[in-house]
Amino acid sequence: MEVMLKCSKLSKSYKEKVVLKGIDFEVYKGEILCILGPNGAGKSTTINILTASLSSNGGEISFKGRQIKRRRKDLTDYKQVLGIVPQDIALYEELSAERNLRFFASLYGLQGETLNTAVEEALAFAGLTDRRKDKVKTFSGGMKRRLNIACAIAHKPELVIMDEPTVGIDPQSRNHILDSIRRLQENGMTVIYTTHYMEEVEAISTRIIIMDYGAIIAEGTKEDLKESIGNDKRYTIELEERKKIQAEDLFSIEGVKNVKIEENILELSSLKGIENLDRIIALLSDQGEKIKNITSEATSLETVFLKLTGRKLRD
Ligand SMILES: Nc1ncnc2c1ncn2[C@@H]1O[C@H](COP(=O)(O)OP(=O)(O)OP(=O)(O)O)[C@@H](O)[C@H]1O
């Protein structure tokens, strides 16, 4: 895998408050790297340092093997290949969708036919071709978010950096945005995406960095992370009324690892890859228990976070 961006020992403090504790990570060409973490974990700080809108107190960033120095020339070249989608919407409300796109794309030096084509493509990308002439102030939150992204990618950057771009929007616009991020990747762009929604990470990530308290606490694909905590299956079985089933009875079934029984609710975890639900049901029925409901849950990223930190992702 080709390394596009490499960050070494990035640190940031405000007075004595350390908000980034010297983090190291790499971004590979063509990936959708999701940075997942609760509010205050340091995601925006990391992104702002990556986009050179905030200086770090220490550490280095290199893009395609070349260190980014804070010299104007270096930064100008670097910013040219970035597409930056900020957390807050940055659009001109009094201008139309098309005028906004023209403005932002022209900041990257696009002009003439190249600019016209880029604007057309960006309007189509945002699903706003029909509304091109309408002022942004008439748009819904979701449409503004879509346009905000389109403004950042009209100049076809190599690396798109998005900071929580779906905050406060309806599910339909969220899905549109997640689909469009996959399309960016299919078109060869590399994406860094921060979020505290694990559903989004499940949907689009090709690799994940989990941050907490200014540090990277885990890194890998969804599968790697789930595997790292054991990746058990969990069943919750609700009985009509518990008669005599005991935890020891269930341990006799291959794969069953943990059993918790509270009144008429049984919670079981079971090794991945062993199909034993039929046997669990048969055992319960042999013991005269009547099952009211069964739910089964595969390991989620929420479980991974809980296991790593002892806290829920969204406390
Ligand atoms: N200018 C500042 N002065 C002091 N502390 C700051 C400043 N900016 C950020 N912080 C603190 O740095 C920590 C990390 O903030 P950051 O915005 O990077 O977190 P985040 O993971 O992006 O969270 P969110 O999801 O809320 O954006 C927080 O504790 C925040 O309060």
Q: Rounded to the nearest whole angstrom, what is the distance from the C-alpha of residue 161 to the centroid of ligand 1? A: 17
Higher pLDDT, 63 or 173: 63
pLDDT tens-place string over residues 232-279: 788 999 999 988 899 999 999 999 988 999 999 999 988 877 888 899
Q: What angle do CA 220, 179, 199 make, to 5 degrees?
A: 50
pLDDT at 271: 85
pLDDT tens-place string over residues 49-70: 999 889 999 999 999 999 988 7
pLDDT at 314: 67
pLDDT at 96: 96
Check whether 71 has a pLDDT greater than 80.
no
Check whether 90 has a pLDDT greater than 60.
yes
Question: Which ligand 1 atom lies nearest to the CA of residue 196?
Answer: 25
Check whether 313 has a pLDDT greater than 80.
no
Check whether 167 has a pLDDT greater than 70.
yes
d(CA 192, CA 48): 12
Domains of the chain (ranges, CATH numbers): 3-227 (3.40.50.300), 232-298 (3.30.70.100)
Check whether 32 has a pLDDT greater than 60.
yes
Whose alpha carbon is nearest atom 29 of ligand 1?
40
Burial level of 130, CB count in 10 A (0-12/13-18/19+)? exposed
Looking at every residue in the chain, the average pLDDT score rounds to: 91
Q: How much of the chain exceeds pLDDT 70, in percent?
A: 99
pLDDT tens-place string over residues 72-85: 777 888 888 999 99
pLDDT at 315: 52
Q: Which of 211, 153, 152, 260 is nearest to 23 (CA)?
A: 211
d(CA 242, CA 261): 10
pLDDT tens-place string over residues 153-166: 999 999 999 999 88
d(CA 53, CA 39): 20
**Test site for ligand 1: of 11, 16, 18, 19, most ligand atoms within 8 A of the Cβ:** 19
Question: Which ligand 1 atom lies nearest to the CA of residue 48?
Answer: 18
Tell me the pTM. 0.83
Residue 168 tokens read as 């406060």
CA 129 to mean position of chain CA atoms? 28
Task: For residues 200-211, give the mean pLDDT.
Answer: 94
Q: Which of 250, 205, 255, 207 is nearest to 230 (CA)?
A: 255
pLDDT at 185: 94
pLDDT at 227: 82
d(CA 247, CA 200): 37
Q: Which of 29, 31, 33, 13 is nearest to 21 (CA)?
A: 13
